[in-house]
Structure 1
Amino acid sequence: MNLRLENAFEHLLFYTTLTMILQDFKPHPSLNEFVQCYRIVHFDFMQAKEPILKAYAPRPEVCLHFFLRERELVQLGGGPTTDYHFPVVLAGQQTSVINRYLLGKDFMTFNIAFQPTALFRLFGIPSFELTGRYLDAEAIFSSHIRFILEELQNATSYNQMTQIADRFITSLAGNTRKEMHRLDTVSRWMICSGGKVSLDYLSGEACLSSKQFIRKFFERTGVNPKTYLRIIRFTRAIHTKNAYPNKDWLQIALECGYFDYQHLVKEYKEFTHHTPTDFHLLESNSPEQRLGLTDEIYKSRARSALLPE
């Protein structure tokens, strides 16, 4: 069997034996300053009669989505539901919920969740220009991104996918447009802290005055640091409730750094336009819940904010 036929057979075997998956993978350690994780999503809804809704609440991440199979319809804010036809999407830092409807019956993506300031360092683009945006990745990464998509589509294992992503990020990291700043490290500490840290402490650790810290943080992450801390706390609350659905809301609120339950309710309404209970009713019908893929990933995410980097 020649090499091309052998690779084609391995590719076919991989895709015909795939099981459904929602899993985060670590990048190569040398890339930790740029990448939080790689995320592989494979949902099979062969029996579904209509697109499946996933309400994505804000998370502390900018994400590159490679659509390996099928696409999604997207509703940004209160706008119309749209099929953007982008094969690779760059989603900037969210500050409100995005409703995504999975198109097709066999949905698979490979995602790269960047560190807070990575895009600024890699491309020199002020991150506030990307905030809340859902962009054709070619506008930022050039047409080379389609070659990476093709490589991922032709991969014969999940491990090979992460290796392709490692090579891609390594090539970008070799041509960064902006030098590393102490603030870049501080922004990653914020995520690890679960959002329970003061701005005075953060600006001091970044060796900046409060005004300098706010200005530079906004430029490098796309939001002000207070908003970012709120998104981090809110994300932890969502992950905690998803992982431990029987835990009461007051306990979650206090564990995640809120003054009381009403404080948590206010954040849910601002970020998702729902009460905590109503939003988690939506979550209970999410693709991963319907397919039984949630137990380990939810608990892993709930623990992650408590772990050192």
Structure 2
Amino acid sequence: MIYQRIPPCPALQDFVKEYMLCHFIADPACPPVIQPLPPLPEHGLEFIPKGLATSINQQTGERSKETRYVIFGQPVSRINFIMPDEEYLVIRVIFQPGGLFRLLGGVPLNEFTDKIADAEQILEPDIRFVNDQLLHAKSYSQLIKIIEEFLWNKIRRVKLETHAVDKIGQLLQGTPTRFSLDWLADQACLSPRQLERKFIERLGIGPKLFSRISRFHQAFMHKEMHPQLDWFTVAVNYGYTDFQHLSKDVNQFAGVAPNTLLSEYARSPAKILQLA
């Protein structure tokens, strides 16, 4: 199994934060592999040239089969992926805050919140040819090159500029501590109401929820990487007043108790193979 996070070329860094590449070949004789994915503070585009997983929204129970190319909006619910019993290859393009909004010509990102949409219905049909090229790529570096050529052809025609709200999104991705809405609005030279509206339009959800998802994710990953730390210490280090408030976020975003999520994550394919 290959699991990598890859930075974009300099020309695309204003739009693309990173790529996530996952490639594995399942053993049909083994039970289906289930990959739990609580919400992350990210949205983007996926290319799946080999294999298709089945996704189940844990909150709604909605079940759907992946398509070859999808746009995924900002998630707010946990998704469980049932991996195919065959070769599976996915390249995820994770956009900078505001990047996908600009690429789509100003389509409000709240139309995609907690959803997975067929990218062919939204982008030009030439995305099909990209997937054909990916299917016949000879290396992982060639996969990224093909996708970057496709993105560059789109991005060089983009007319929408970055907005101060995009920088607020980057701030909350990196340091999701307890900023007041008034302070964030002041940094963007907007009123709190304008900030909320622009943030939802460009990132899909409001800044407070986005910050909570980012903080939950960082706190959980820190605990996973440092199992010797107790939950209270982790909670306080990430700005929670106590463990109960962190536990509440874990329950809302992952649907289980904190230690249960740790156990589930430990059984994920990438973790078993020590790739994540």
**In which range does the TM-score fall when normalised by the shorter chain?**
over 0.9
Aligned equivalents of 2:134, 2:268: Cα separation in 1: 25
Which consecutive unaligned segments of at least 5 residues does structure 1 have?
1-19, 295-309
Deviations for 1:234-278, whole angstroms, at most 9, x for unmatched residues?
110122122223322111111222111000000011111111111
Match of 2:93 among 112, 134, 143: 112
Q: Which amino acid aligns with 1:284?
A: A
Match of 1:141 among 101, 123, 132: 123
Match of 1:160 among 133, 142, 146: 142
| Higher alpha-carbon deviation: 168-177 or 104-113 | 168-177
Matched, 1:75 2:56: yes
Matched, 1:23 2:11: no
Q: SS where residue 89 of structure 1 aligns?
A: strand
Aligned equivalents of 1:114, 1:136: Cα separation in 2: 17
Number of residue pairs the alignment of both structures matches: 274
Return the offset for 1:58.
0.5
Q: SS where residue 122 of structure 2 aligns?
A: helix
Contact preservation (8 Å) 2:53, 2:82: yes
Identity %: 34
Q: 2:24 maps to what in 1?
A: 43
Which consecutive unaligned segments of at least 5 residues does structure 2 have?
none
Cα RMSD for the two superposed structures: 1.7
Q: 1:272 maps to what in 2?
A: 254
Q: 2:40 maps to what in 1?
A: 59
Match of 1:178 among 150, 160, 180: 160
Runs of 4+ in structure 1 off by over 3 angstroms are 194-198
Q: 2:231 maps to what in 1?
A: 249
Match of 2:216 among 209, 234, 241: 234
Deviations for 1:128-168, whole angstroms, at most 9, x for unmatched residues?
00001111111222221111112222222222222222222
Contact preservation (8 Å) 2:26, 2:84: no
**TM-score between the two structures when normalised by the length of structure 2:** 0.93
Q: SS where residue 293 of structure 1 aligns?
A: coil
Q: SS where residue 292 of structure 1 aligns?
A: coil
